[in-house]
Structure 1
Amino acid sequence: MYALTAVIADEAMLRRRAAEWQHAAVVALREGLGLLPVPGELFMEMSGVRREPLEDGPSADSPFLHPLGPPLEALLTAWSEERPVAYVEAEFFGGDGHPSAAVWSGGARAWGPVFDDTFDGLRAGWPLNGALARLGVRSNDGAHDLFDAVGLGDERGTDGWLARAQARTRTS
């Protein structure tokens, strides 16, 4: 199973912004990006509300399994005044699942949210790849998937990324 809820942005900016949150830990991705895993504790800290999944799951009308809400949307909007920021969510198991993504830039939502429940493999039009492209990631050879280019496949989900980030913090 692959399950990810995270904020992706320029690594240095994300580290500065995440420093104010007790449950925040940033891990480096390739291409100069950082990933801030958003487990339930951090979601609560950032938004002031408990992370509750949609009863019927995500859809094109409600693209995120865990709706952002106005406080988290305002936070991402503010962060994007410095650098573009993506909020991504993905959940896959046995060929079924969904990715969703949105990007903020220049103090406004610039793209999305985009939802896709047809998982037929990684592709350019996939929401996470669309978000990464809007953060400036480019495939060197035109055939390399952006998801793979930044290393999003290196862990199986939010918990794995969080453990990696916390391990890095303990050894620093």
Structure 2
Amino acid sequence: MIGFIELSPANFFAAVIVRNDTSRMLSRMGHDHVVRAIPSQGRIELDTEQVDALSFELSFPARDLIVDADLDRPRVGLPGTIALKDRDATADNMLAKNQLDATRHPELGFACHGIKTGTDPRMQASLTVRNTRCDFELPLDLHVDPHHIRARGQIQLSHADLGLTPYRAPLGALQNRPELTFVVELDAELNPTR
């Protein structure tokens, strides 16, 4: 079936898990983070009989990233809730010039360049952050029928893969670990193309 998916927070979840470096002197003052991205446009065209040809690009406004939302933390296995002032401070640090530099680079990108189907499905994907593109294969748990698609992928990349350095507080007393875990989930009905 040929159709389209309208992405929404109800059927699409894209996030990165950022880990606190527990070897640092003040690490107990920090915590692991989950940062969720909401696409600025959310429509994907799909032919369920040719999933391997799937191709799309999504754009995520950096200033719309959601840090440590109460519902997102348990979804990715992180404990507890984070005070609003701490979430705001994390967001400010994340958007700063030495991190995402949201003023000069207001958009982040995620693209699918095809899917290898079969017993070990993988998405040919890329992330673009601060004009640095990182290509990778995203392992997928993929289920497709004529009217529905369910996919979940998770991969570990590093700050360096994206041209970034981990956040570091003054004197390095508090710092994030180099690795980043990206999670993408889609559970959506396919709308027929008219």
| TM-score of the superposed pair, with normalisation by structure 1 | 0.31
**Which structure: greater helix fraction?**
1
Q: Which has the larger radius of gyration?
A: 2
